[in-house]
Copies of this chain bind each other. A is one copy, B any other.
Amino acid sequence: MLKGPFLDRNWMAQNPNYETSDIVMLGLPFDGTVSYRSGSRFAPEQIRLASWGLEEYSPVFDKELADVNFHDVGDLEFPLGNTYASLDMIRENVEQIYKEGKRVFGIGGEHLVTLPEIQAISKFYNDFAIIHFDAHTDLREEYLGEEMSHSAVIRHCSKIVGADNIKQIGIRSGMKEEWEFMKKHNTLCHKFSDIDCIKSKPVFVTVDLDCLDTSIMPGTGTPEAGGMTFKELNEWFKYLKDFNIIGADVVELAPDYDSSGASTAVATKVIRELLMAM
């Protein structure tokens, strides 16, 4: 055998053992329903490589990544062009994760991947909330006639967990009807205390990276000006430390649209920090 040493090719500081891990990082390279620019299928692998450009230690959480007991299980392989079969595949794998008493950390792919995650989790939790970071409301009923669209994902999730269990942060784009939905159900949050009402419940955290400003996240399918800084997002994560996070995902990085690699580096740090919060 060769002595090497060899570069590690999995996510930095992961637990190489699935069985003993607490959190399962699951790559979801699906981008079949996006309304504008695709390419998020390449995100999970590029993020994995970029993780080695970060440190294991987070000064914000004063913790090392190895303290989070997560296993990088790799990326699902989808039947390209078949939206429903792809969503089924996600749902089945996520169900298995919860059957084994673990939690999922999904790496998109596009935002529609959140729906089968929530469907799977809803079999294990009766009353849980979703904290949704995004630029877009994602509250449409359908897009160009299609119900299964990344711009409808939170609307569909709201039917599972109840609209009152949706809390949205960073939203700055949507149709007038969607905005009225947000008002009616009081989903839009501006300050930390706006999410205190769900603090007693289990929460799933879904981060569409376009919640960040286009300046820091140009490599995404639908860039939308006027977003959060990384520090602001990180402050939210710090606040979430005291919540009961039962699962999470980070979606919509389209790495090829930012040839500088900075978007991928930012996405990777978002994931490290959210892992810390769990």
A: residues with CB less than 8 A from B are 1-7, 9, 18, 24, 26-27, 29, 31-39, 41-42, 45, 49, 53-57, 59, 62, 64, 73-83, 85, 89, 92-93, 96-97, 112, 143-146, 148-149, 172-176, 179, 213-216, 218-219, 222-226, 229-231, 234, 256-263, 265-266, 269-270
Q: Chain A binding site: helix, strand, loop or mixed by DSSP?
A: loop
Q: Which residues of B contact A54 (CB under 8 A)?
A: 173, 224
| Contact pick for A265, options B57, B77, B144, B225, CB 8 Å | B225
Q: Which residues of B contact A143 (CB under 8 A)?
A: 79-80
- Minimum CB distance partner of A53 in chain B: B36
How many angstroms from the CA of A64 to the CA of B92 in the assembled complex? 34
How many angstroms from the CA of A229 to the CA of B219 in the assembled complex? 19
Q: Which residues of B contact A35 (CB under 8 A)?
A: 80
CB distance from A171 to the nearest CB of B (A): 8
CB distance from A43 to the nearest CB of B (A): 12
Q: Which residues of B contact A49 (CB under 8 A)?
A: 45
